[in-house]
Amino acid sequence: MYKYLKRMKITLWVIFALSVLSMVGVLLFWIFMPDSTVNYQTYFIIIISINLGLALLSLLLGFFFVYKFDKVRKTSELQVSDIVGNDVGAAYDFGEIGLIICDDDGIILWENGLLLSRGINLVDSNISKLSEKLVALKESNGSSVSYDDSLFSYKGKHYAARYLKDAHLFILKDESIYRNLLSYNDKHEAAIAYLTIDAYQDIQTSDDEEKAEINSSIREMVTNYFRSFGCLVKVIRADYFMIFLHKEKLEAMIEDKFSIVSKIEDYFKDNKDGDNSHAGSGTGLTCSLGIGYGDNSGFNNDDILARQALDIALSRGGNQTVVAPFGETMRVYGGGTNETQQTASSVKIKTFARVFLNQVENASNVLIVPHIQADMDAIGAALGVYSICKSIPRKKNIPVNIVYSNQDVEQSVDVALREILPDTKKINFFKDVFVSFQKSNELKGPKTLIVAVDHNRVAQAIYPNLFEGDVGNNIAVIDHHKKQPDSYALTEFEHIDYSASSTCELVALYFSAYSFRVDVPPYIATLMLSGIYLDTQNFKVKTRISTHEAAIALSQFGANETQARDFLKESFENFTVKSKIMANVDTYSYGVLIARAPEDEVIHPAILAMAANELTNIDSIRAVFAIGYVDANHTCYISARGNGRVNLELIMSKILGGGFGGGHFSQAAAKLPNMSIKQAEEELRHVLDEYLKDASEEIDEEY
């Protein structure tokens, strides 16, 4: 139809142009040839005849194009009638179906009455004016476009489209009611949330009035925040709230970044300026929020999801929000709890233990990964986790292995393991439990849970390549070192307690948190106790109440205290090397020593650590730094030990601008490639000049 209309317009313009030219010709003839002998009347008759002829031609062409238009219209109606039947009008109205016929170029030739009644009058326009999706549908010949890709909106209505190639016909189904109901149901889907105040039980105050004011402030902030989003808040207890909300409100909170978490953190943080002081200022209270939704089978399952999400938030250190959509991966928002404020309260330990148990039960197998040059704490913790996994009643036969290489474990630890671990037909750890790097790659699957113990960075793992490829977020971390910027990213479980003495302490506390009995053989309990002795220097540093509780628990499992200490004794060769290091000591400042190993010897990092530990026994010594080569490629190692009065982690993390060292308050280290002992000492002295005062003041404030 558009083609014929275009032709008619061109023809009429040509006829009009001829008429004008004929009139102009007569006028020019009249002006320039005024010959009285000429019969002008004859010319006028000729011109009039020509114009009458052109008018008649226009009339005939008009009838011709009208005939063509009518033919195309009837053809279109016949095509529609053939497709949907004779009673098309009733079908259109009842089914709210719109029909459009277009030509090969996408020009709309005809629309049915439903579309015209809705103000969609686009005849002679390109189909793209209605929706670009219809263009794609036409180009695909109606065969390769999904249902969702065919949906479009126009003037407040929602349509699903189909295209019939042979008939050049678009069929538009009005789905406005369905889409609006779907959108409404999605926005008003029920969600359940739980909010808890972290470390609320650890508030140190005997003033009932102050405690009441803290409770009032918490309740006011929580209720005001959620009610501003139209939520229903139920106070379970002073530090525990249950919230009912719609998904639409949840999305608004996500855009708000769950500001209630930061509001509570800011309100209760230490107010160093002393302005606007209030009850609870300086207590460091934070909150954790768990939200579950999406299970249409009932509120009970959403409630379970919310509780699990809250457990995950707490296991990651609190001060964050975890959202658990049904059938989807949990999403984490926020975070940033100060690790030095973590405590080993029985409630938190039970929470961590329960979440870790859930991760193991959902796994197909478990691979436990200690750190490079694994010491007694790393190996003891790995064996403790092994004991937990093998004691779970519902997962009695779950495969559990420890990634091990005697080249990447401290020599004294390897000797102790071969001495104490059983070698029987029932079990041989070096054959049945410990696996090589290559074997661990073979055991790794899509549902394998990888448990990193005594470290939290991939670069520190005994076998970093294990984390290459698709491991998803099936990683659990149990550690007592400060979390670093390059720590494991997508962890499913994370228990990093910077205030703990050792990882063996944390794992030992798990044993009493379960409803079932954890089967811990005496030889594993002895190794774990040895790990605690190692990191506390025989209970001299980094010791808290829970450290003693963990030691008591291990003793109840049959740990041999004498043997645990014997494992930490050094050989004569190690004693000789250590003596050389201790004989080459300089005083940096009062209470701070720097010891150097012989430049012609390669020293194991453990020997440097033992030398530094020995020197801390000298009266008034706060920190010791032992420096030496650990390989033939001039990789220099600095082992730092102290009595807890200097933040050694801060100092080691500043070496060479960061990225080469870390640890925690009383035990830290740095590894410097391609550097001489002299250069390493100069760098250490430079860092001490810059940061020793800050590191000492920071610890003095905490003590």
Q: Which fold has domain 88-181?
A: Beta-Lactamase (3.30.450)
Pairing between β-strand 97-102 and β-strand 661-663 as defined by DSSP bridges: unpaired
Q: Is 279 helix (H, G, I), strand (E, B) or coil?
A: coil
Q: Which fold has domain 188-337?
A: Alpha-Beta Plaits (3.30.70)
Mean pLDDT, to the nearest integer, of 346-373? 88
Confidence of residue 125 (pLDDT cuts 50, 70, 90): confident
Report the chain's mean pLDDT, rounded to a whole number: 81
- Strand stretches in 399-492, DSSP E: 400-403, 434-435, 448-453, 475-479
Q: Is 446 exposed, middle or buried (0-12, 13-18, 19+ CB in 10 A)?
A: exposed
Residue 185's contacts (CB-CB under 8 Å, 6 or more residues apart) are none
Is 505 a residue whose pLDDT tops 90? yes
CA 640/CA 646 separation, integer angstroms? 10
CA 354/CA 360 separation, integer angstroms? 10
At residue 39, the pLDDT reads: 59
531 and 502 in contact (C-beta within 8 Å)? yes
Q: Which residue has the tokens 């530090």?
A: 239
Q: Which of 279, 285, 294, 288 is nearest to 309 (CA)?
A: 288
Q: In 233-249, which positions are buried (b, 16+ CB within 10 angstroms) versus exposed (e)?
A: beeeeebebebbbbbbb
- The per-type count for the chain, helices as H runs and strands as E runs, is 22, 23
Confidence of residue 187 (pLDDT cuts 50, 70, 90): confident
At residue 63, the pLDDT reads: 62
- At 8-26, the pLDDT tens digits run 667 666 766 766 666 666 6
- At 283-307, the pLDDT tens digits run 778 899 999 998 877 788 889 889 8
CA 577/CA 561 separation, integer angstroms? 27
At residue 350, the pLDDT reads: 81
- Total count of residues recorded for the chain: 703
217 and 205 in contact (C-beta within 8 Å)? no
> In the chain, how long is the greatest CA-to-CA distance?
148
| For the ranges 232-241, 267-276, 341-350, 486-495, the one whose mean pLDDT is highest | 232-241
At residue 44, the pLDDT reads: 63
Within 10 Å of residue 693's Cβ, how many Cβ atoms? 11
Mean pLDDT, to the nearest integer, of 219-239? 92
Domain 359-566 belongs to what architecture? Alpha-Beta Complex (3.90)
| Poorest-pLDDT segment among 160-164, 183-187, 447-451, 474-478 | 183-187
671 and 637 in contact (C-beta within 8 Å)? yes
- Strand stretches in 4-96, DSSP E: none
Confidence of residue 517 (pLDDT cuts 50, 70, 90): very high
pTM over 0.75: no
Domain 577-702 belongs to what architecture? Roll (3.10)
Sheet of strand 667-672, all strands in order from the earlier edge strand to the far edge:
585-589, 592-596, 623-629, 636-642, 667-672, 661-663
At residue 357, the pLDDT reads: 92
Enter the tokens of residue 493.
């479980």
Confidence of residue 47 (pLDDT cuts 50, 70, 90): low
| For the ranges 30-44, 47-61, 652-666, the one whose mean pLDDT is highest | 652-666
Is 441 a residue whose pLDDT tops 70? yes
At residue 107, the pLDDT reads: 86
Residue 517's contacts (CB-CB under 8 Å, 6 or more residues apart) are 391
